[in-house]
Amino acid sequence: MTGWAITLILAAAFIHATWNLLAKRASGGAAFTWLFAGWSAILYTPLAAAIVLFQQAHIGLTEIGFMAGSAALHTAYFLLLNQGYRVGDLSLVYPLARGTGPLLSSLTAILLLGERPSALAISGGLLIVLGVVALTSGPARLRMGGARSAVSYALLTGTFIAGYTLWDKQAVSAFLISPLLLDWGANVGRALLLTPVALSRWSEVRVEWNTHRFEVLGVAALAPLSYIFVLTALSFTPVSYVAPAREISILIGAAMGTRLLGEGDAPRRLAGAGAMVLGVVALALG
C-alpha cells in the first residue's frame, strides 16, 4: 500500500472517529439521519457541480444506479448504527461494527473479486481486527445489561459496512465514478429515501434540529469527507488492504473516549493499540 493511500486512510480515520462521537452524543434515529443526509447533500453540492462542469464527469444510468445502491446500503448502515448507539456504549458498538465490516469485506474481496493480498498484508489485517477486540471489548462487557441488543445492531452494521465497501469499490475503481460524486449522490438518495419518514415524524425532526443542531451539521460535514478520502484510496488500492487499515479509527476513538468519556483500563487499550499499529505497518509493507 502506497504512502498516499496510508495518508488518506489515517486522515479519514481521525475524521470518522470524530463524527461518530458526535453521532453518539445525539443518539438520533431516522430524523437525525435525514437531517444530516440533507445537509450533507447541500454542503457538497457546489463541489459536485464543479466536478461535473470542470472535469466533465458523466452521470448516466450506470452512475445513477451505483449512487442509488450506495444510498440504500448507507441508509441501512446509518439507521442501524444510530440504533446501536441508542442502546449501547460507543466503546462497544463502534469497535464491533468497525471490526466486523473490514473482516467481511476483505474476505469477500479475496473470494469474489480475485484480490490476492500477501501473507504479510493478511497478517496485518488480522492484527488490526485482534487489536480492535483487545482495545475496546471484553467478555465482561458482553454480559452487561442491554449489551446483547447493542452487539446485534453492531454486527448488522458491520455487515452493511462490508456491503457498501464492496459496492462502492466497484463504482470508483471498475467504473471510474468520482468518489465525491458517488458520495454526494448517495447522500441525496438517502435524504429522498427518508423524506416520507421525516414528514410523518416532523415533530421529532424539529426536536432533533433544536437540540442537536451542532451534531447534525458536524456529521453532515465530516461523514462525507472521511468517506471521500476512503473512496479515493479504494480507487487505486485493493479492498483487502484499505478496509482493515481504516480501523485505525478505533485507536483514535478510544483515545477520545478515554479523555472525553472517562473510560479506563489502560493496559488492555495500549495492547490493542500496539497490535493495530503493527497491523497498519504490515499492511503498508505488504
pLDDT band at 181 (very low <50, low <70, confident <90, very high): very high
Number of other residues whose CB lies within 10 A of the CB of residue 236: 14
Which range of 25-29, 95-99, 216-220 scores highest in mean pLDDT? It is 216-220
Three-point CA angle 174, 178, 182, nearest 5°: 95
Predicted confidence (pLDDT) per residue in 205-235, tens digit: 999 999 999 999 999 999 999 999 998 998 8
Predicted confidence (pLDDT) per residue in 229-256, tens digit: 998 998 888 877 787 777 778 777 777 7
Which residues touch 111 (CB under 8 Å, ≥6 apart)?
none
Predicted confidence (pLDDT) per residue in 120-150, tens digit: 877 877 887 777 677 555 555 555 555 678 8
What's the pTM?
0.82
Mean pLDDT across 73-90: 89
- What is the reported pLDDT for 137? 57
pLDDT above 90: residue 98: no
**CA dihedral sign, ordered 82, 83, 84, 86:** positive
Percent of the chain with pLDDT over 70: 86
pLDDT above 60: residue 258: yes
- What is the reported pLDDT for 77? 94
Tell me which of 32-36, 136-140, 154-158, 243-247 is least confident.
Answer: 136-140
Tell me which of 49-53, 73-77, 271-275 is least confident.
Answer: 271-275
Long-range pairs of 253-258 with CB within 8 A, sequence gap ≥ 24 = 253/17, 253/20, 253/21, 253/90, 253/91, 253/94, 253/95, 253/136, 254/91, 254/135, 254/136, 256/17, 256/18, 256/21, 257/21, 257/90, 257/91, 257/136
